[in-house]
A and B are shown apart, each in its own frame.
Chain A
């Protein structure tokens, strides 16, 4: 059903390595978000961006970085500083003024 695409679906990395997760959208939404989903903890906001070239930290930004150079793209880098990076990462785009989010299929990162 397109609209918002995350890649890769599955990713393995060794400790100490940085990894970048891709999030692309073709729905022309200004707002984009990254959430982390862990069993028993729900979704927690990592970073969000309301406009190109601007982004804000969410509740658990430490060990992560983002960029928003284009409206369509909001990549997330999980750095080696993130202490517990193994998780399911969800990208979302925001419907303006409605509070409705459209989610991607997610990327599962496993650190070996």
Chain B
């Protein structure tokens, strides 16, 4: 069965420091991976998806099939990055996503 693991419940960094939110997955087929973000008092929303290979708000994520990882990175954290981040795996055509347990990123001055 598919599984998504986010080992950190809370990640606290200083403003300007690099950020890496970890995500590992378990799936025997070809995965589609996503990062979703939930800012305070806002809806959960898509941040980025691996097939787009894009950078959104300075964040990037590379799919590493050998390590079964999809870590989210940003070189310099900003206060507005503080939010809850979820890694998600799509294993079928129904957009039936399996989510990790989430990591709360806290950026402090």
Interface residue count on the B side (C-beta < 8 Å) = 22
Q: Does B11 contact A (CB under 8 A)?
A: no
Known: A40-B101, A100-B49. A58 touches B96 (CB 8 A): yes
Q: Give the residue name and chain of the A residue nearest to B44 (CB).
A: A103
Q: Give the residue name and chain of the A residue nearest to B89 (CB).
A: A99
Which B residues form the contact surface with A (CB < 8 A)?
Answer: 6, 9, 32, 34, 36, 43-46, 49, 86, 90, 93-102
Q: Is the CB of B43 within 8 A of A99?
A: no
| Complex interface: chain A residues within 8 A of B101 (CB) | 40-42
| Complex interface: chain B residues within 8 A of A40 (CB) | 9, 101
Q: Does A95 contact B (CB under 8 A)?
A: yes
| Complex interface: chain B residues within 8 A of A98 (CB) | 49, 95
User: Closest CB-CB distance, B88 to chain A, in whole Å?
Assistant: 8
Q: Is the CB of B86 within 8 A of A42?
A: yes
| Complex interface: chain B residues within 8 A of A97 (CB) | 93, 95
